[in-house]
Amino acid sequence: MAGARSGPGIPETSDRDRLTGVLVPVGPLELSVEEVRQLWSFIHGDIMDGSMRRLLRASLGLCPRHTWAYAVVEVELWQAGAGSRGGHQPFDVTILYEDLLDHVADGLGRKTSLLHRHPDEVLLPVGPCRICQDMASPSLPGLRMGYANSNTEALTVEANTLVHTTTWCLETVGLWRDRVCPACDPGTAAGTGDPALLCRFHLAGRRPLPEQLRHAVASRLREVRARMRHLTESMTDYGAPVGAEENTSWIEAIGFFAGWGLPLYLATDPEEAWLEPGSQPTEKGD
């Protein structure tokens, strides 16, 4: 991996330790019907019961592709909800990622000791992505049914438009653009940028992390989490409306866990992509 330019355009397949994930390349996700079916039922399941929460902590949520896919499916397909938007909001997503941000921040903030695993091992997922696992399991009649017999094919077409996800990304890009992981960002020269902004993949690639960097990342994650708490509340009947800093929090959280490929794609003007040296022009689907 040494010297290789890593970024969202270049999927990483390093299997150093347990880092077997592949970062989402810059481009549309193009979810399959089966992925949408699995994610839709994941959203409607008891994702936050105690044992599921422990599993999701250990695996650091889902793989990068399914982390973004999970947010996209919820944001695109959720029709009616509380809060000013009344739907098309990442509600389940923010609840799960509040928990995971806490988990990683606590792990990184821990003191090094002989009795416990090294603090930066919290960046290494233990266990597979649940959606990848379910997709690979033999099909059982009944389990392939869409949630509540919904027409999963139509939902897949709707999810893949990315209309609402794009709106979120564009509305908040002025805030998150300077907070992108420098190693995910094709506009940042390799090895430069603030290491405290690195996503979990690029941080894990730099282990062992100096204590100062671990603490800087932990406090950044706690700060994102605090803003996301207000965002979650704003999506309930009793929460106060929130502003742009809160609205951008879930994108920063998912960017940390899954890399920045999708928001960079959605917020990049295809005209501008031509101007960046070495970058490939991207074409957006309609």
Distances from the Cα of 279 to the Cα of 161, 188, 272, 282, angstroms? 24, 12, 10, 9
Structure tokens at 133: 């696992």
220 binds Zn ion (CB under 5 A): no
199 binds Zn ion (CB under 5 A): yes
- For the bound state, the minimum distance from the C-beta of residue 176 to Zn ion, rounded and expressed in Å, comes to 13
Other Cβ atoms closer than 10 A to 55: 14
Largest CA distance in the chain: 54
Amino acid code (one letter) for 143:
L
Nearer to Zn ion, 61 or 107 (CB): 61
- For the bound state, the minimum distance from the C-beta of residue 233 to Zn ion, rounded and expressed in Å, comes to 29
Nearer to Zn ion, 180 or 218 (CB): 180
202 binds Zn ion (CB under 5 A): yes
Asked if 152 and 36 touch (Cβ cutoff 8 Å), the reply is yes
- Residue 204 CA to residue 176 CA, distance in Å, equals 22
Q: By rule CB under 5 A, what count of residues binds Zn ion?
A: 11
96 binds Zn ion (CB under 5 A): no
- For the bound state, the minimum distance from the C-beta of residue 166 to Zn ion, rounded and expressed in Å, comes to 21
214 binds Zn ion (CB under 5 A): no
- For the bound state, the minimum distance from the C-beta of residue 199 to Zn ion, rounded and expressed in Å, comes to 3
Of 11-50, binders to Zn ion (CB under 5 A) are none
- CB neighbour list of residue 18: distance below 8 Å, 6 or more residues apart: 124, 125, 126
C-alpha 58: how far from chain center = 16
129 binds Zn ion (CB under 5 A): yes
Binding site for Zn ion (CB under 5 A): 63, 66, 129, 131-132, 181, 183-184, 199, 202, 259
